[in-house]
Structure 1
Amino acid sequence: MTTLSRASIEKAFKSDEKILAAATKISQELTNGDYHFEALADELGFAMTSADLNQRIAGTKFLSAVLNALPKDYLNAKELKYMTTYYVNGLRDHHGVISALIDGLHALVSMQSLPAENVPELLRAFFQYTNSQSQTRTDRTKLFNIFQYLIQHFPTELTEMSDFLSGLVESIDGERDPRNLDIIFSFMPQFMADFPLQHLAEELFEIFACYFPVDFNPSKQDPEAVTRDVLSEKLSNCLVANEQFAAWTVALALEKLDSELLVAKLDSIELLRKAALRFAPTALEPHFTEIWQALKMETFPGSDNAEVQRAALKALAELLKAAAKESTISHNYQAAILGVVLPHLSDVHQRLYEPAAKIALMCVSGDAAYAGDKILHTILLKLQESKQQLPQDEQRLQFYRLITEVYRMADMRQALQQLDRAIALPLQDDVIAVLRICESESLEGSEQQLELPTAAVKVLSECAPVLSEPQRALIYKALVHIISHPRIDLEFKTLTVSLGALQPVELQSNVLDVCLSSFAVYSQFIKRKVYANLLPLLPLIAFTQRILDLILKQLFTPTTVEPSRRLALEAFIALLQQQDQRFIVELQQECNLIDKLIKLAQNDTEMPMENLELVAASLSRLMQQLPVSEQSAIVSEYLPELQLELASHLFVAKGLLGFLHKDISLDDHFERLLNDLTELTLTSKDPKLRTIANHLLCSMVNKMEHTPANQSHLKRTLSRLMAEVKKGDACAVEVLGWIAKGLVIAGFAEASDIVGDLGDLLKHPTLCHAAALAFDVIAVENPELDLPVVKFLYKQKLFQTILSKLDAKLLSICLHHMNALIYVLKATPHSVLKLNIEKIGPLLFKVLESHNSVKTLCIALGICENFIKHQDAYFQAHLTHFIPSCLELSIKKQDQNMVSVVLTAAYVDFKNILSLQPVRIAALQLLYDITKYPTFVLLPHKVDVTLALAPTLDDPKRLVRNMAVQARNAWFLVGEPGGD
């Protein structure tokens, strides 16, 4: 324990750091009960009453530091009253003591036992003897935090304090520091909403109005700087905090809305939007005309800035939505706005049609029934005038899109049933008449012919709840004709779902039953339409069993012929993808679908490969949804019978094992699966079957249990593969790549040996291409693979493994080494590459200079672009080396030498090889990004680059020319005024 004495205290007065250290220690001793607070006060008395100003300042700092370090519940009410009185009296002292006093008051007001009656006394003394704006920024921050705390915890006492508001106004008036403004703008909205402002309301509003709109740029060096947008958001909350502000807020917003500054316009519009949210409609009604005129300027025909136009429409929508609470006010608003825009809805070719339609929809979002009736009536009158132009009327198409939105918004506002049926029914008749055009057998079904019927389907989907019975009957008839039409392919599933939910009996008898009764005689084109448009009805209980019966009958009936079975399989997969786990599990339990699918694949020896792929996908989806116990039982039952050399059995294995849960052990089957799959991938001539076998091998080794038996089986398989490699078998190299991928991701030790062997093969005269591609297999992301066992930072480990093997010869390695490493670099996180840029940088430059494949060049350019965008210092230092490579690639046409080299490689993407357009675009993009570097770095290259880029402006490919223009323009502006 420190001996509390005048000497020890005076020793601490030598510096602020010593005061803080001693105060912290004493506060701990007080908390531990080593002595009482009175003892500290007695020992400090010499300093607090000293005639020496510096000693009084030091003593007050010391005491305030102790108070700040004490727990909030340490001092009792009596002690707090005493201390508060002392600090209040101290406010009359020299201004040099005030900072230390504020520090102590900051601690006192937050103490739990602070007597409420001391709060007014404290504030009155502060307002009387000090000036907030004469204090330092740090002290003002403490003062505003004091005000915030007292407002939140002592509202009653402050309300009864007659001079509190005037004192607060004087304290915050003139504040300029953004961090302090952030504090003020945070607590003042709630205070102004709850506190009676009386005659000071306008003065308080003006204090905040002077900051609007916020215009400052935060320091880039300050990581915790307050942003302009944050301050603007909080300031607008202050300006709408009290309904007394309504008239002043509107006037302020409209004044600043005339500004040419974009930020002022956006802030003003946002302020109007918040005013609509916070002020009662009656408070804004007297100012509506001025508000509407101002917003109309930005929306009709509209501002040149799309952001301003969107914000203005949003504010108008909020204004109308708020007014909907008062029907009289709402109708007045709507009449004023619709009176302006409705005349322009009669001709879609008018320039004002689009902005008029947007504003009209904002009206619907506010008062859906009133505005909807007006808009629909206007459209109805125009449609009746142009009835003779029914089939190909472009105006009708635009009208239908607008009608769709009106119905949709009315439904969202629960006002669909409130629309005037005298208007809605004739309009719906017009839409149905357009839909019935599809009943014509002479209709060719072109995209242009179906544009209007498609729009009609969207309208009817939205207005389904208000369709009359005769109208629904006509729709059902039209839908049956659309489905059975031999040429029309018009999707209407949203309409069937809407009608099915509302009128299940009608839809079933008039559409579903008709389609099912004739399904057997339908063409494949029509059957596909039946599945597409009726399958979405499956979740509706009235249709579930009927649709299931249709699909399962077509799927599992032996007499079903192709391509009907394929259509059923596609529909079945769509069904599984749409439904949740519970439905799929129940379906499997009731119908035993997995068994039926397996038998279907195995019994039909002539089933096409496409169907087998669909069966595998169905099995996979079913297996993923089943509990682990059921998955395990299914695998145990069916896996031993599979003969993987048969295509149908291999696809079944893909379905069962492809996404099998990782907790299910395959140890009993592991050896056989390894042997059979390895044999298949080495001997099969079908690339599709080899791919499936490789995927299964990769997934199996990733999920395998690391037991001695499994390790032994894997070791024998790897030995066999290496024996085949020695014979020159490229397929064995590919298999090694897939096995290595599963092991690398899982973090198994065996992966390092395989990666090493593949690295050695990069020097092989005939297998070097296959070895390079094996690294691509290892590194690339593959969503078709289920690899659930993922080692933390496995990508980084793979990179380090490859780099360690090639580190000593990075610049002397051959083309295939470069390809392999580039594939690995593509999958490596940027942060890891950045740490090793000194090592991989020369390799990247060498790749860009070499006659390499399009794929490798694009990867290398992509990696470089990521560094360039971050203005990497390494690339800045090597621009002299890097820019010429990019220029050469930007004008590079087809290189016959490169093509001849890469065409000898196995498994090459020929489409990428035959065109260097992606390379030229990527190189030009890099040259454009380089211009973001500092001007002094770029100026030495400016002339050479602009001259070298001239030929790219005549490139035969449009996308290349576009990128060339951007890059060359950017280089022209380097060093020019405003060019940065």
Structure 2
Amino acid sequence: MTSVWYKPELAERIMSQSDIFSETHSIITDIVSGHLDISDLVQNMAGVLTHIEPENREKGMRFYTKVLKELPRDYLNEMQVKFISKFYIDRLKDHHRVIPPVLEGYLVLIDMNEYKIQNCADFLPVLFREVSCQSQLRQDRYNIYLIMQKLCDKDIEFMKNLGTDFVYGIVSAMDGERDPRNLLLLFAFLSNFIKSVPLGHLVDEMFDVISCYFPIDFHPSKDDPASVTRDDLANALCPCLCAVPQFGDSCIVLLIEKLDSNLRLAKIDSLKLLVESCKTFTPQTYIPFLRALWSSLNREMSNKTDDELKLVAHQALAALVAKMATTADTDQAFQNFLKGILISAQTTIAEATTVAQFVKGAKVLLTTANASDQSCASITRAMVPATVAYYELKSTPKLQVASLDFIGDLYECAKTRGLLDEVRAQVSNVPQVCLEAVSQSAKEFQMAGFRTLIRVQECLGEDLVLPFVEILIYNVQHAQDNDLLSISVETIHMIARKYPELIMNLVVKGKCNLENLTQDKVVFQKRLNLLTNLASIDDFTKVIIEQMMKIIIDNDVEASHVVEAMNAQMSETSVFSTEKVTQIESDHGLIEPVLSWLYREISASNPDSLAHGFALISNTIGSLPPEKQQIILEKHTPQALEQCARDDNYFSVIECLYMPLHPTVYSSTFEEILRVALKVALGSDNEAARFKGCMLVAHLLNKAEHGQRFELLYELLKVKLSESNREDQNLCPRLILLYGWITKALLMRGSEMFLFWLQKVIGTISTVRYCTDAAEAIKLIMSENPEYLSAKHHCRISLLYKQRMFQTFSGLADNLKQSLPSENKECYLLCWAYVLDKAPKTVLKNEASKIAPIIIDSLEYSNKDMLLVSLDVLCQFVQMSPEHVSSSLQTILPRLISLTKYMKSMDVRIKSLECLYEIANNFRTSYLIPHKQDILLDLAPSLDDKKRLVRSMAVRARSRWFLVGAPGEDKDN
């Protein structure tokens, strides 16, 4: 039977039967197959398109637009597109009910492949004349703006030729727009449109229609699922206000006016607008306003409480100085502007009686100096001599320290900009000032002096090296403060790079010569740390490392101190690069003598005291390329296995050899190593050895290459564990912990096999005897530690392994909960706490409805670790998803009040008070009023807590609860 769309009866069907709209796919099939021409379809719809009732004409246009939407974009030819365009243009003159589907349809038409931009020359005048944009509904206005944007994106050159009539149409269309979603689209469109299309005589009109929105005063509804934020609108509006230089005077007058208001957001938006405007406006635009701008900026940079406002003001000053500096060689305005800033800041510094006042002036100058080469050179030349004089006036110690730091900041600014030659005369005497500072006994002076000397190291003359070294070596030998000792070593390192021969003679072969050390063990260790640090410098490596190796090889009584110093310094990647460690091993053979020393010492002393030696071996091997690691394994594995067979204490040697290997390294001994590791992990009486055994098993599984190598080790593991005696009560806790390590290793590498072992761990949560061990295993799986299963040891680390653990644990825990004994519930909740503690916030938010009851139940117990996690997650829910906990407020509040008196931990008390504050700050007032008086009474004891931080948080929480229901609160909307 012939379909209705081939007949004039189609019009009647559209008007009478709404189900025809669901059959448009059949029409599309007939059109595409060539059985129906789209122009014939229009003729068959004539009855509905020209019907006397606007409601029916609207139905007809909606039907036709739906057909157009479903057509392939490449189906219509140019003539058909032109015909349909004229058809839609004619429909714009129809009743206002018909306009929405016309707009929607024309949007689709623009996206057709054969749409020619010339078609819009007829469409736009009719649109602007016949359709009053602001009289339309929100979505229809949005479609009008979208049509303009699509047309400009399609051919901006053609749109330019439409002249000011097109610009006027846009201005008229948007004038009065208030919907935030529409404004966001408009601002994004206008920021490019204004730059591309000449505005002609409509510059002022365009600026006026945009500037009426500045500053954005808008607060989205919390219930809006697709809300636009105030910041979204403000960020989109800002580029529009300064899109073209013609907006210059009007824009700057506007931002100065808003800067002088009392509204914080108006100030911040104005400062951001100033920053943005500097990308577009010419320097000449700002010249008449420089005095007013500086006055406003200086006021905002002096704000004592609002850090964000100060930061944006500094950013605005930097942008303005950088813009004006481009005219430094052609205009006096920049020099005058810079002079005004300099005088104002110098006055602030000269009159400073506190460090905060000094820093305020110094930050202004540093912001200005960092903005351009010209300002940097001028300020450095003026302020370095002035600050040196200020230091020598013997003001308060804190101000003198601040002045030294300021000199270092100025020097670094000049150095970064490559201007040291220009300011050489002014900075040349800074090291002498540093020497005066470090010559004082006070730590604060020495720290500041060394800190500044490190920054101005290029100015350090050879004549000052000896006095500095005398002070530095004294500090190395006698300083009890770790910070002073650390910076002293750093300073010697800096001087050694600049004057290697002097430091070699004065320090390495002089005061710190390993052959002439005193018997003072403390001084000896400090000197060793210094020498090892210097060994990272090429000029010193050979001399120092060879002396240290000699002490280790000779088994000198000081060998343990040498190993400790080498491990401490060589593990610092900022001092010893991977390449440097590899070079030391290649040139001096570090690993073999240290291993020989360890073998001798293991049998003679407590193996725990040899930790530095094992760590040194591990770090060194980890720095080597795979081929060198392979050679070391082949050389040292047989002896390590032989010794370990007699004594578990020697397992530490195997662990330090095999743990840092690259994943590509493999040998036939791996299976034997896995057997030994399992034996130690389950059978050793030494807890430290068992821990290392588990750790090595995890490393082997994590790094084994995919395929046969991994399968071989994995099957061996399963066989060996299947032979374990599950009835041995002493063995079960060790097995559970080992399962945790295996789960972690497999999970981190992304292997599906982790599930088998995780099920074993979770299964023991329901066992009263071993539930605590299961919780520890879960904690291990979720924890991070740089000493194992880390990138440092070349382990495989899946990016989403924590999310995967959360999802898997969540499913397994649901099944377990049904059969869980009541006495095991605390351990069950503790396991949840360990998982939630490391789970990403986005995961928690998505699963809030499931997690919230678990968190609320956890507040009932007194386990500190569980409480801290639970309170932290509860705070997140209150802030992000209060609806998930609002129904349980009667349960939550008493438990939080109880925890404010939790005497085992100050952190728990603080966190519970923070939760109470967030509840008062985020919940609807109607939820809180019934509890207000009880909470205020219950919080009173916390105001007298013995800890200051608890009292402070209690005051904050109680003050917020006092405001619940106060006049002006608007939290029920």
Interval of TM-score (by shorter of Structure 1 and Structure 2): 0.7 to 0.9
Aligned pairs for 1:741-756 (under 5 A) are: 741-745=740-744, 746=746, 747=754, 749=756, 752=759, 756=763
Aligned pairs for 1:88-103 (under 5 A) are: 88-103=89-104
2:14/2:48 contact within 8 Å kept: no
Which residue number in structure 2 is paired with residue 318 of structure 1?
Answer: 319
Deviation at 1:205, TM superposition (A): 0.7
Which residue number in structure 1 is paired with residue 365 of structure 2?
Answer: 360
CA distance, structure 1, for counterparts of residue 35 and residue 579 of structure 2: 66
The one-letter code sitting in structure 2 at the alignment partner of 1:510 is L
The one-letter code sitting in structure 2 at the alignment partner of 1:458 is R
Which residue number in structure 1 is paired with residue 267 of structure 2?
Answer: 265
Deviation at 1:191, TM superposition (A): 1.9
Q: Secondary structure at the match of 1:717?
A: coil
Q: Larger deviation: 151-160 or 701-710?
A: 701-710
CA distance, structure 2, for counterparts of residue 672 and residue 371 of structure 1: 65
The one-letter code sitting in structure 1 at the alignment partner of 2:500 is Q
Which residue number in structure 1 is paired with residue 750 of structure 2?
Answer: none
Which residue number in structure 2 is paired with residue 807 of structure 1?
Answer: 818
Which residue number in structure 2 is paired with residue 574 of structure 1?
Answer: 571
The one-letter code sitting in structure 1 at the alignment partner of 2:326 is K
Say whether 1:416 aligns with 2:413.
no
Say whether 1:193 aligns with 2:190.
no
Which residue number in structure 1 is paired with residue 611 of structure 2?
Answer: 613
**Structure 2 counterpart of 1:464, from 457, 470, 482:** 457
Deviation at 1:533, TM superposition (A): 6.2
**Structure 2 counterpart of 1:473, from 431, 438, 463:** 463
Aligned pairs for 1:876-887 (under 5 A) are: 880=890, 883-887=893-897
Q: Larger deviation: 258-267 or 794-803?
A: 794-803
**Structure 1 counterpart of 2:558, from 534, 545, 561:** 561
Q: Alpha-carbon deviations, 1:685-713, whole Å to 9, x = none?
A: xx544543454466567788576654332
Q: Given the superposition, is the C-alpha separation of residues 362 and 857 from structure 1 closer, same or farther in structure 2, using an over 3 Å criterion? A: closer
Which residue number in structure 2 is paired with residue 121 of structure 1?
Answer: 122
1:890/1:921 contact within 8 Å kept: yes
Q: Given the superposition, is the C-alpha separation of residues 20 and 241 from structure 1 closer, same or farther in structure 2, using an over 3 Å criterion? A: farther
Which residue number in structure 2 is paired with residue 847 of structure 1?
Answer: 861
Q: Secondary structure at the match of 1:313?
A: helix
Q: Given the superposition, is the C-alpha separation of residues 835 and 621 from structure 1 closer, same or farther in structure 2, using an over 3 Å criterion? A: farther
CA distance, structure 2, for counterparts of residue 74 and residue 539 of structure 1: 71
Deviation at 1:412, TM superposition (A): 2.6
Q: Larger deviation: 44-53 or 352-361?
A: 44-53
**Structure 1 counterpart of 2:595, from 595, 598, 606:** 598
CA distance, structure 2, for counterparts of residue 953 and residue 228 of structure 1: 37
Identity %: 23
1:431/1:460 contact within 8 Å kept: yes
Which residue number in structure 2 is paired with residue 678 of structure 1?
Answer: 682
The one-letter code sitting in structure 2 at the alignment partner of 1:253 is L
Deviation at 1:840, TM superposition (A): 5.4
The one-letter code sitting in structure 1 at the alignment partner of 2:464 is L
The one-letter code sitting in structure 1 at the alignment partner of 2:828 is L
CA distance, structure 2, for counterparts of residue 695 and residue 354 of structure 1: 50
Q: Given the superposition, is the C-alpha separation of residues 925 and 197 from structure 1 closer, same or farther in structure 2, using an over 3 Å criterion? A: closer
Which residue number in structure 2 is paired with residue 286 of structure 1?
Answer: 288
Say whether 1:823 aligns with 2:808.
no
The CA RMSD measured in Å over matched residues stands at 4.0
Say whether 1:714 aligns with 2:718.
no
Which residue number in structure 1 is paired with residue 140 of structure 2?
Answer: 139
CA distance, structure 2, for counterparts of residue 212 and residue 873 of structure 1: 34
**Structure 2 counterpart of 1:434, from 413, 416, 437:** 437
Structure 2 gap ranges (5+): 705-709, 747-753, 790-794, 837-843
Aligned length: 914
Deviation at 1:748, TM superposition (A): 6.2
CA distance, structure 1, for counterparts of residue 468 and residue 662 of structure 2: 47
Q: Given the superposition, is the C-alpha separation of residues 649 and 695 from structure 1 closer, same or farther in structure 2, using an over 3 Å criterion? A: same
CA distance, structure 2, for counterparts of residue 802 and residue 183 of structure 1: 46
Which residue number in structure 1 is paired with residue 901 of structure 2?
Answer: 891
CA distance, structure 1, for counterparts of residue 39 and residue 740 of structure 2: 74
The one-letter code sitting in structure 1 at the alignment partner of 2:502 is N
Aligned pairs for 1:15-414 (under 5 A) are: 18=19, 20-45=21-46, 47-48=48-49, 53=54, 56-162=57-163, 163-299=165-301, 301-302=302-303, 304-327=305-328, 328=331, 329-349=333-353, 352-374=357-379, 376-378=381-383, 380-381=385-386, 383-384=388-389, 387=392, 389=394, 393-414=397-418
The one-letter code sitting in structure 2 at the alignment partner of 1:807 is Q
Q: Given the superposition, is the C-alpha separation of residues 459 and 208 from structure 1 closer, same or farther in structure 2, using an over 3 Å criterion? A: same
Deviation at 1:396, TM superposition (A): 2.5
CA distance, structure 2, for counterparts of residue 881 and residue 661 of structure 1: 53
Q: Given the superposition, is the C-alpha separation of residues 11 and 810 from structure 1 closer, same or farther in structure 2, using an over 3 Å criterion? A: farther
Deviation at 1:246, TM superposition (A): 0.6
Q: Secondary structure at the match of 1:416?
A: coil
Q: Given the superposition, is the C-alpha separation of residues 460 and 175 from structure 1 closer, same or farther in structure 2, using an over 3 Å criterion? A: same
Deviation at 1:809, TM superposition (A): 5.7
Which residue number in structure 2 is paired with residue 487 of structure 1?
Answer: 478
The one-letter code sitting in structure 1 at the alignment partner of 2:196 is D
Q: Secondary structure at the match of 2:217?
A: coil
What TM-score, normalized to structure 2?
0.83
Q: Alpha-carbon deviations, 1:815-870, whole Å to 9, x = none?
A: xx34532431222345899666698579646535xxxx655665666676666666
1:675/1:717 contact within 8 Å kept: no
1:258/1:265 contact within 8 Å kept: yes
CA distance, structure 1, for counterparts of residue 885 and residue 171 of structure 2: 56
Q: Given the superposition, is the C-alpha separation of residues 47 and 758 from structure 1 closer, same or farther in structure 2, using an over 3 Å criterion? A: closer
1:369/1:415 contact within 8 Å kept: no
2:737/2:773 contact within 8 Å kept: no
Q: Alpha-carbon deviations, 1:939-960, whole Å to 9, x = none?
A: 4544444434433333333333
1:496/1:534 contact within 8 Å kept: no
The one-letter code sitting in structure 1 at the alignment partner of 2:360 is P
What TM-score, normalized to structure 1?
0.82
Q: Alpha-carbon deviations, 1:551-591, whole Å to 9, x = none?
A: 65565554461453134332453256755555555655555
The one-letter code sitting in structure 2 at the alignment partner of 1:85 is K
1:372/1:410 contact within 8 Å kept: yes
Q: Alpha-carbon deviations, 1:706-758, whole Å to 9, x = none?
A: 76654332123344xx33x2xxx5xx454233223134444364665576567
Deviation at 1:965, TM superposition (A): 3.3
CA distance, structure 1, for counterparts of residue 536 and residue 7 of structure 2: 84
Which residue number in structure 1 is paired with residue 448 of structure 2?
Answer: 455
2:260/2:267 contact within 8 Å kept: yes
The one-letter code sitting in structure 2 at the alignment partner of 1:131 is S
Q: Larger deviation: 175-184 or 205-214?
A: 175-184
Deviation at 1:269, TM superposition (A): 1.3
The one-letter code sitting in structure 2 at the alignment partner of 1:737 is I
Aligned pairs for 1:697-846 (under 5 A) are: 705=711, 709-719=716-726, 722-723=727-728, 725=729, 729=730, 732-745=731-744, 746=746, 747=754, 749=756, 752=759, 756=763, 759-760=766-767, 762=769, 781=783, 783=785, 784-786=787-789, 793-794=804-805, 807-808=818-819, 810-811=821-822, 813=823, 817-829=824-836, 844=858
**Structure 1 counterpart of 2:507, from 515, 521, 530:** 515
CA distance, structure 2, for counterparts of residue 676 and residue 39 of structure 1: 86
Q: Given the superposition, is the C-alpha separation of residues 473 and 116 from structure 1 closer, same or farther in structure 2, using an over 3 Å criterion? A: same
Q: Alpha-carbon deviations, 1:865-915, whole Å to 9, x = none?
A: 66666677786555555544544454355xxxxxxxxxxxxxxxxxxxxx4
Deviation at 1:267, TM superposition (A): 0.8
Q: Secondary structure at the match of 2:225?
A: coil
Deviation at 1:239, TM superposition (A): 0.6
CA distance, structure 2, for counterparts of residue 593 and residue 34 of structure 1: 86
Which residue number in structure 1 is paired with residue 839 of structure 2?
Answer: none
The one-letter code sitting in structure 1 at the alignment partner of 2:369 is V
Deviation at 1:64, TM superposition (A): 3.3
Deviation at 1:358, TM superposition (A): 1.8
Q: Given the superposition, is the C-alpha separation of residues 711 and 35 from structure 1 closer, same or farther in structure 2, using an over 3 Å criterion? A: same
1:612/1:648 contact within 8 Å kept: no
Q: Alpha-carbon deviations, 1:608-629, whole Å to 9, x = none?
A: 6465212222333344455566
Which residue number in structure 1 is paired with residue 655 of structure 2?
Answer: 654
1:323/1:366 contact within 8 Å kept: no
Q: Secondary structure at the match of 1:260?
A: coil
